[in-house]
A and B are shown apart, each in its own frame.
Chain A
Amino acid sequence: MSSLLFANQQGLQQQQQQEVFTMQAIGGKRARFVRGGQVVASPAPGARRQQRAGRLACNASLKDIRDRIGSVKNTQKITDAMKLVAAAKVRRAQDAVIQGRPFASKLVDMLYGVNTRLRNEAEVDSPLLDVKPVEKVLIVSFTGDRGLCGGFNNFIMKRTEQRVAELRASGVEAELLMVGKKGGQYFGRREDQYEVVRSFETGQKPTVKESQAIADVIYSKFVGGEVQKVELIYTKFVSLISSDPIVQTLLPMTPEGEVCDIEGNCIDAADDELFKLTTKEGELAVERESTNISDGEGFDELLIFEQEPQQILDALLPLYMNGTVLRALQESLASELAARMNAMNSASDNAKELKKNLTLLYNRGRQAKITGEIIEIVAGSSV
């Protein structure tokens, strides 16, 4: 009797271990699982599933399996709902980008016009164009406020760490400005290694107010001479299934207002890209269309410049900087939502698979029990 009790307890313990194991599986992390304190490289997906099913068979009672089916079913409902919510929000993020279009296009027109005028002037000089020897860099990195979105936050944090290490290796100091709760928490815990100037939250809908607050900090840091270069690290929204963490130099700007990545490849401001979420044969799909928003006609010869072109450029560049920050926020949010949609999609799939296997097991167990009972009855009657 006592040995039976012991076996039961052991079974329960294993059950709990498995609970952890499946939770991880649902969370969408695939690579490795810790089993009994040992890190085991995961076998091929098919093999793993069989193994999981096999393990359950030896030590779970029918009631346990039934309970687990129930809990998996609930989890699936939650992940399904989260997926749909994320999909709806991607749409909203896209609308925000569209609403920002008139501004972006007018701005590029102006920038183009002012530049054509300025080309004839000798020196262009604005605080935001100052190229100074770099001693300290301000890195602005954009993460999300929440988890459960696959590797989204992790990619950005790793990229930020990598960039800081690169800069330090070349003898340049780095400060961090974090946008998004997750990044703020992560680097906040590592205060001894990283200098975090300030952290912001991304919020559910990035507006000018947020981007302005971020841009104000960047502006005062740069113009105040504390940093000589500002870089943005954010996730560029490529499609619903892929997004790249990229590093972009924000300041100092080139006079044309072009935004360059760290290798010096310039992304032409006039070739603005717009992403569109559409449905294709019942599936969500993303189209990225690139439009040249500047018609390049420049200004009228008669146009009066109320101030010196120089001064106008001074007013224009901060505006352009804000636009870039807002754009980074929007792209990052869209990527986060897309990542969440994907993570939740695979979580739902995993849950569905798990439920199927468990149901099979349950039915098999139930059948075995009935068979056993029949055998007992038959054996009893034949005596």
Chain B
Amino acid sequence: MTLKVSLITPDCILWDGPVEEALLSTTTGLMGILPNHAPLLTALEIGPLRLRNENEWLSFAVMGGFATIKDNSLTLIVNQAESGTSLEKETVENNLSKAKAALEEASTPPDLIEAQIAYRKAKARFEATLPKS
């Protein structure tokens, strides 16, 4: 029994196929989904998404959105997503430290919100490049 997953972004479908297990970063924490899950709707945080396909873990950086599960099909509707393999580790690490510095410097409310978003995105990308622990 497998779970059919489609990862949909505004401009393309990034992944559409069966997986054995999915790990989502929801707004209330990490959630593991296995086949035959009860129908569910959840909001997704900016964070990594991991899919197990033929005993191999795939990682994506997901920039917020939500997921629904119904009849063994998991649909993720996200703002923006990047495949972990398409990201370069060094650039991602550099960006993370830059975003961290920007967050510490931000003072006005709009700047702060913007810096927070940027930091969380950089962190999601960073985590997507790491292998699953």
List residues of A whose CB falls within 8 A of some B CB. 96, 99-100, 102-104, 106-107, 110, 113-114, 207-209, 211-212, 216-217, 219-221, 223-226, 299-300, 302-307, 311-312, 314-316, 318-319, 322-323, 326
Q: Which of B11, B38, B39 has the most CB of A within 10 A?
A: B11
Contacts of B30 in A (CB 8 A): none
Contact B80 A307 (CB under 8 A): no
Closest to B108 in A: A224
How far is A208 from B110 in the complex, measured between Cα atoms in Å? 21
- Which one of B10, B64, B108 contacts A315 once the chains associate, using CB atoms below 8 Å? B64
- Which one of B68, B80, B113 contacts A219 once the chains associate, using CB atoms below 8 Å? B113
- Can you give 22 contacting A-B residue pairs, CB < 8 Å? A103-B9, A106-B75, A106-B77, A110-B77, A114-B41, A207-B11, A208-B79, A209-B80, A220-B109, A221-B110, A224-B109, A305-B40, A305-B42, A306-B26, A306-B42, A307-B27, A312-B66, A314-B43, A315-B27, A319-B66, A322-B10, A326-B10
Contact B77 A302 (CB under 8 A): no
Q: Is the interface of A mostly helix, strand, loop or mixed?
A: helix
Closest to A217 in B: B114
In the complex, which residues 70-89 of chain B have their Cβ closer than 8 Å to any Cβ of chain A? 70, 75, 77-80
Contact B42 A319 (CB under 8 A): no
Contacts of A305 in B (CB 8 A): 40-42
Q: Which of A113, A219, A224, A315 has the most CB of B within 10 A?
A: A315
How far is A127 from B112 in the complex, measured between Cα atoms in Å? 16
**Shortest beta-carbon distance from A111 to chain B in Å:** 10
How far is A71 from B92 in the complex, measured between Cα atoms in Å? 52
Contacts of B38 in A (CB 8 A): 302, 304
How far is A223 from B108 in the complex, measured between Cα atoms in Å? 12
How far is A211 from B111 in the complex, measured between Cα atoms in Å? 18
Contact A315 B65 (CB under 8 A): yes
**B55 on the A face (CB < 8 A):** no
Interface size class of B (residues with CB under 8 A): 35 or more
Contacts of B44 in A (CB 8 A): 315
With A306-B40, A307-B27, A315-B64 as known contacts, state yes or no: A208 contacts B113, CB within 8 Å.
no
Contact A208 B10 (CB under 8 A): yes
Contact B42 A307 (CB under 8 A): yes
With A216-B114, A224-B113, A307-B27 as known contacts, state yes or no: A102 contacts B13, CB within 8 Å.
yes
How far is A111 from B12 in the complex, measured between Cα atoms in Å? 20
With A306-B28, A306-B42, A315-B43 as known contacts, state yes or no: A102 contacts B66, CB within 8 Å.
no
How far is A216 from B115 in the complex, measured between Cα atoms in Å? 10
Contact A99 B64 (CB under 8 A): no
With A208-B79, A300-B70, A307-B26 as known contacts, state yes or no: A319 contacts B64, CB within 8 Å.
yes
In the complex, which residues 24-57 of chain B have their Cβ closer than 8 Å to any Cβ of chain A? 26-28, 31, 38-44
Contacts of A212 in B (CB 8 A): 63, 79-80
Contacts of B11 in A (CB 8 A): 96, 99-100, 103, 207-208, 326
With A103-B8, A225-B109, A311-B43 as known contacts, state yes or no: A322 contacts B70, CB within 8 Å.
no
19 extra interface residue pairs, beta carbon distance < 8 Å, beyond A110-B66, A326-B10: A102-B13, A103-B11, A110-B41, A110-B68, A114-B41, A208-B9, A212-B79, A212-B80, A216-B114, A216-B117, A220-B111, A224-B109, A224-B112, A299-B41, A303-B39, A304-B38, A306-B41, A312-B43, A322-B10
**Shortest beta-carbon distance from B71 to chain A in Å:** 10
Closest to B118 in A: A216
**Shortest beta-carbon distance from B96 to chain A in Å:** 18
**Shortest beta-carbon distance from B39 to chain A in Å:** 5
Contact A224 B110 (CB under 8 A): yes
